[in-house]
């Protein structure tokens, strides 16, 4: 019960202090909207929404979560307020889960705008709602954990943002967000399968009846495996780097 009180209050504090601030809410709205508008202008209104739908959702989640974690983790580490959390009588695992929960919720929120615009403006038909929800949730988890992994390695907020970009921008091209993996050069293709976003995007494609590469269940298992790996690597790094 005591741990639960701590967990809930860390999440609540992060929501109030970071995620519910107007600039972040507007980021969650403007970023996906801008991407959709870009696609719309590029193709002169004739783009196939179904094709770009998974990519825009994945981008919104990926950029939203990784950017926020760079602030909530790295900034607190720099200002030493994170020490307060490390000194609390709760396990590091629970502390980290509490810290990333806000970003996961933020990631899910970020997906709402492209989903709503796709539904109501572009009349996208979702064939499998469970797959869509699972895809969004797992993408939020894995992107957040990727952000955590990067943030733990950085000392400054700008450093975390820079490291994030090393991962984020190649992912746009490698994870089948807008360029199908099948059309990538053969040599680069294995790289795509090393990146967790690939599997999340594949689930989203499946949810709207687009050609998916792997089975839904396999994508789900692989994403869960990536989540566990990134979580434990981050915990390992926190213990190694922050508790000297």
Partner 1 sequence: MNSNIIEAVNLHKKFGDFVAVEDINFAVRKGEIFGLLGPNGAGKTTTINMLIGLAKITDGKIFYNGKDLTKNINNAQNIIGVVADESNLYAEMSGFDNLCFCGALYGINKIVREKRAHELIELFDLTEFSHKKFQTYSKGMKRKLTIAAALIHQPDILFLDEPTSGIDVASVRQIRNLIKQLNYNGTSIFLTTHYIEEAERLCDRIAIINQGKIIKLDTVANLTSAVQRDNIVEIVFETNIANEASLSADLQQQFPAVKIEIKNSNTLKIISGTKINIVPFINILADRNIMEARLIKPSLEDAFVLITGIGLKLMKKEKEK
| Contact positions vs partner 1 (CB under 8 A) | 1-6, 8-10, 13, 17, 79-81, 83-91, 243-244
CB-CB contact of 174 with 192 (8 Å): yes
CB of 144 to partner 1, least distance (A): 21
Give the residue among 46, 205, 30 at the shortest CA–CA distance from 114. 30
CA distance 77 to 237: 14
| Nearest residue (CB) to partner 1, 29 versus 88 | 88
CB of 69 to partner 1, least distance (A): 17
E strands of 38-158, at which residues?
Answer: none
Q: String of b and e for 66-77 (b: at least 16 CB within 10 Å)?
A: bbbbbbbbbbbb
| Nearest residue (CB) to partner 1, 72 versus 118 | 72
Place of tokens 């992107």: 143
| Nearest residue (CB) to partner 1, 2 versus 44 | 2
CB of 89 to partner 1, least distance (A): 4
| Nearest residue (CB) to partner 1, 186 versus 243 | 243
| Nearest residue (CB) to partner 1, 82 versus 163 | 82
CB of 21 to partner 1, least distance (A): 9
CA distance 62 to 144: 8
CB-CB contact of 234 with 150 (8 Å): no
CB of 80 to partner 1, least distance (A): 4
């Amino acid at each position: 019960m005591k741990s639960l009180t701590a967990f809930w209050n860390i999440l609540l504090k992060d929501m109030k202090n970071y995620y519910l601030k107007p600039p972040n809410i507007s980021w969650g709205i403007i970023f996906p909207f801008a991407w959709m508008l870009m696609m719309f202008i590029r193709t002169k209104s004739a783009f196939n929404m179904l094709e770009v739908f998974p990519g825009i959702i994945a981008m919104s989640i990926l950029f939203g979560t990784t950017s926020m974690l760079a602030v909530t983790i790295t900034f607190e580490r720099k200002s030493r307020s994170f020490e307060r959390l490390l000194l609390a009588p709760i396990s590091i695992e629970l502390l980290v889960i509490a810290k990333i929960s806000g970003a996961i919720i933020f990631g899910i929120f970020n997906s709402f705008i492209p989903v709503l615009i796709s539904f109501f403006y572009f009349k996208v038909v979702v064939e499998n709602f469970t797959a869509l929800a699972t895809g969004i949730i797992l993408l939020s988890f894995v992107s957040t954990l990727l952000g955590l992994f990067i943030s733990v390695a950085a000392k400054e907020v700008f450093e975390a943002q820079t490291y994030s970009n090393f991962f984020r921008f190649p992912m746009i091209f490698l994870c089948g967000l807008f360029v199908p993996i099948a059309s990538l050069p053969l040599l680069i293709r294995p790289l795509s399968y090393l990146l967790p976003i690939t599997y999340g995007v594949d689930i989203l494609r499946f949810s709207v009846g687009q050609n998916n590469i792997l089975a839904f269940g396999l994508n789900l298992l692989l994403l869960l495996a990536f989540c566990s790996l990134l979580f434990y690597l981050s915990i390992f790094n926190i213990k190694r780097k922050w508790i000297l």
